[in-house]
A = this chain, B = another copy of it.
C-alpha cells in the first residue's frame, strides 16, 4: 500500500484507528475454543465486525509464536484473510525485529513477501544497516521504535547525550539520513503526549504509530493536539480495550461498539482540524 492510499482510507473512513490483534487464548470467549483454530476465528469475527471503523490491524507476533507452528498458522490465516477480504486495510506485523544486514533482509522477506504485510515494527539499537534492508522494499513501511510508553521506555530512550539531545531524538534525527527514509514510520507511546510537540519538530511529515491509547492509559485528544499533521500522520492503536471489551458470545459486537466510540472521537477531531 502507498502512503497516498493510506491517507485516502483515513479520510474516507474518518478514522485513524488501528486495532491490535494481541490474542491471548486465555481471554478468547469459551464458545470459540471448540473451533479448529480459535485464534483465527476470534480475529476473523473481530475484523468483520470492526473493519469499517478501522484503517489498520496490528497482530503482535509474540502472541502467535508462543503457540509454535499452530500460532504461526493462525497468523498466516489472519493476514491472508485481511489481504483477501479487505485489501484496503493497512496491515502491521508488530514484530520489533532488527539484526545485521543480511539477517534483516530475511526478516523483511518473512513479513513483506512471505506473509505480505504492509509494514513491520523494528528496533533501532543496531543502527542504520539493521533498518535500511527493510526500507528497500517498495510500498512497504518500516515502523521504528522511537519513544515507547512502558515504564522501562525511559531507561535508555530518554538518556541525555553529550549533544544534550535525548537518545530517542537522536534516533529520529539519524533515521532521516537513511536511504528510503520516506518509508519510515515511528512508534511513539501515547502516555507521553507532552513529547509529541517535540517529536513533530524533528519528524513533521512521517506517520506515528501510537500504541498506548486505552488500556495503557494514553489520551486521544492530547495525542492529536500535537501529533496530527497536514496529512493526519497518526495511527492510533487500541488492543485490549477493544478486543476484550466483552469476553462473552457478544465479543465482536461489543468490540465494534468500543471501536465506534474511538472512531467517532476521531471523526470529531478531524472535523475540527479541517
Q: Which residues of A contact B (CB under 8 A)?
A: 22, 24, 60, 62-63, 65-69, 71-73, 76, 94, 96-101, 103-104, 106-107, 109-110, 113-115, 123-131, 145, 148-157, 159-162, 164, 167, 170-171, 174
Query: Of the candidates B69, B152, B167, B171, which one forms a contact with A69 in the assembled complex, judged by CB atoms under 8 Å apart?
Result: B69
- Closest approach, in angstroms, between the C-beta of A39 and any C-beta of chain B? 12
Whether the pair B62, A106 counts as a contact (CB closer than 8 A) is yes
B contact residues around A153 at 8 Å (CB): 126-127
Query: Of the candidates B100, B115, B174, which one forms a contact with A155 in the assembled complex, judged by CB atoms under 8 Å apart?
Result: B174
Contacts A63-B103, A123-B123, A162-B162 given; does A155 touch B128 at CB 8 Å: yes
Give Cα distance in the complex from A152 to B107, angstroms.
Answer: 17
Give Cα distance in the complex from A99 to B128, angstroms.
Answer: 20
Stoichiometry, copies per complex? 2
Contacts A99-B62, A150-B101, A155-B174 given; does A67 touch B114 at CB 8 Å: yes
12 chain-A/chain-B pairs, Cβ below 8 angstroms: A60-B106, A62-B110, A68-B110, A96-B98, A100-B150, A127-B153, A127-B154, A129-B150, A129-B152, A156-B171, A160-B162, A162-B162
Whether the pair A124, B125 counts as a contact (CB closer than 8 A) is yes
Query: Of the candidates B63, B97, B156, which one forms a contact with A125 in the assembled complex, judged by CB atoms under 8 Å apart?
Result: B156
Whether the pair A170, B161 counts as a contact (CB closer than 8 A) is no
Residue of B with least CB distance to A158: B127
- Closest approach, in angstroms, between the C-beta of A69 and any C-beta of chain B? 6
Give Cα distance in the complex from A65 to B63, angstroms.
Answer: 15
B contact residues around A174 at 8 Å (CB): 155-156
Whether the pair B156, A170 counts as a contact (CB closer than 8 A) is yes
Give Cα distance in the complex from A62 to B151, angstroms.
Answer: 29
Contacts A63-B106, A123-B96 given; does A130 touch B152 at CB 8 Å: yes
Give Cα distance in the complex from A69 to B67, angstroms.
Answer: 13
Whether the pair B123, A125 counts as a contact (CB closer than 8 A) is yes
B contact residues around A171 at 8 Å (CB): 156
B contact residues around A156 at 8 Å (CB): 124-125, 127, 167, 170-171, 174
Residue of B with least CB distance to A106: B62
Whether the pair B62, A104 counts as a contact (CB closer than 8 A) is yes
Query: Of the candidates B100, B148, B167, which one forms a contact with A148 in the assembled complex, judged by CB atoms under 8 Å apart?
Result: B100
- Closest approach, in angstroms, between the C-beta of A190 and any C-beta of chain B? 13
Contacts A72-B68, A72-B69, A155-B174 given; does A123 touch B98 at CB 8 Å: yes
Whether the pair B167, A159 counts as a contact (CB closer than 8 A) is yes
Give Cα distance in the complex from A100 to B239, angstroms.
Answer: 13
